[in-house]
Amino acid sequence: MKKILVSPQQFKESLTGLEIANSMENGILKVWPNSRIKKIPVADGGDGTLETLVNNSNGEIKSTIVDNSNFEKIKTEWGALGDKQTAIIEVARVIGLSKISNDKRDVMKASSYGIGSIFKEALSQGFRNFIVPVGGSATNDGGAGLLQSLGVSLKNKLGEEIGYGGKELLSLDHIDISGLDERMKEVTIMVACDVSNPLCGPRGASAIYGPQKGATFEQVNILDDALLNFSEIIKRDLGKDVADIPGAGASGGIGAGLMAFFSSELRLGSDIVLEILDIEKHIADSDLIIVGEGQVDRSTVFNKSPVAVSRIAKKYNKPVICIAGSLGAGFKEVHSHGIDAVFSLLNRPMSLQNAMKDTSRLVEIATEQACRSIDINLIN
């Protein structure tokens, strides 16, 4: 009996990881009807991380109403793992670009305040361990808003509280943590990200990600100066130097804010997810591993989920195939990172819109054909 591990991640704006896994299973069974299939969807700290961790731990997705980056009330979700001790706050679900319309985006004023509100809600329910997948935020405030929500006072030279948004950090003169929610002193935070950018400078949060959030060249310089001032005040008042820590620039500097004020560790999102899922045990017990991603390209090798799974698989000399929504520039680079073959869903000329509408069937077909192409001796 063939033992197959199916571990795709979400196909962005299409199907969840579990839905993709179900379609893969249907394709496999058409070739090997007696195979034993284990479905463990994965994620890399971005979209789909919340569902992946909650579903695989028999946890719970909780609904709430909080402020987006423009202080507009929105309905969103956070998660609780099955251990009933760990909460997951996915930044993009609260203050992501997708949560505000294009005509209302203003990176200078965008605030991370809503993230702090979810922290308080989870604290009130007894959670003290947190996983925070960052990335995809509309903010560039270094996490200042979430800190203010939790009781940190950020004051200017006149002793007045500064406003919200990244540009306000230019006027920051000193930090007062006397009002910080006492419960935050008991928490541990795992910051999950897939970037290594520092807080400031040419590779920092403002320069690299500011333009994606609508910042002009002039605004990028202002925001960079503001984050630099924030880091210098943090170093002076808190004794922590976070400016150059790889990943400090994640999500507009939220990585830096969390590391400066709380007991936080920043790790690659894919590593955190795979560790929680105990994926290595399942890989070791499988004959074949099938991974998947919406688009496989050069960026996939930077420890995104398909490659993260494949690297573990190669420790056990297991074959890995990848089902991709599409293939982008540099996709062949994944072959030197553990993925033996990549198969695209697109089996005929079609628009992206039509492909996304038919993703489930296309995944099933691609998986079936991939399995038929495999030399059975590889997994006997």
Task: Profile the chain (380 residues) by mean pLDDT over runs of 10 residues.
Answer: 93 87 97 96 86 91 97 97 95 91 91 98 98 92 98 97 97 97 96 89 94 94 98 97 92 95 92 93 97 91 89 96 92 95 82 76 95 68
**What are the domain boundaries of the chain?**
3-42+278-379, 49-270
- Helix, strand or coil for residue 75? strand
| Fold type of domain 3-42+278-379 | Rossmann fold (3.40.50)
What's the pLDDT at 306? Answer: 94
Query: With contact defined as beta carbons under 8 Å apart, do 24 and 364 qualify?
Result: yes
| Dist CA 110 CA 164 (whole Å) | 7
Would you give the distance in Å from CA 349 to the centre of its chain?
32
| Dist CA 300 CA 32 (whole Å) | 29
Would you give the distance in Å from CA 126 to the centre of its chain?
24
**Domains 3-42+278-379 and 49-270 alike in fold:** no
What's the pLDDT at 87? Answer: 98
Would you give the distance in Å from CA 333 to the centre of its chain?
22
What's the pLDDT at 292? Answer: 96
pTM: 0.85
Which amino acid appears at position 293 of this protein? E
Query: With contact defined as beta carbons under 8 Å apart, do 198 and 244 qualify?
Result: yes
| Dist CA 292 CA 154 (whole Å) | 44
What's the pLDDT at 335? Answer: 96
CATH for the stretch 49-270:
3.90.1510.10
What's the pLDDT at 103? Answer: 85
Query: With contact defined as beta carbons under 8 Å apart, do 43 and 52 qualify?
Result: yes
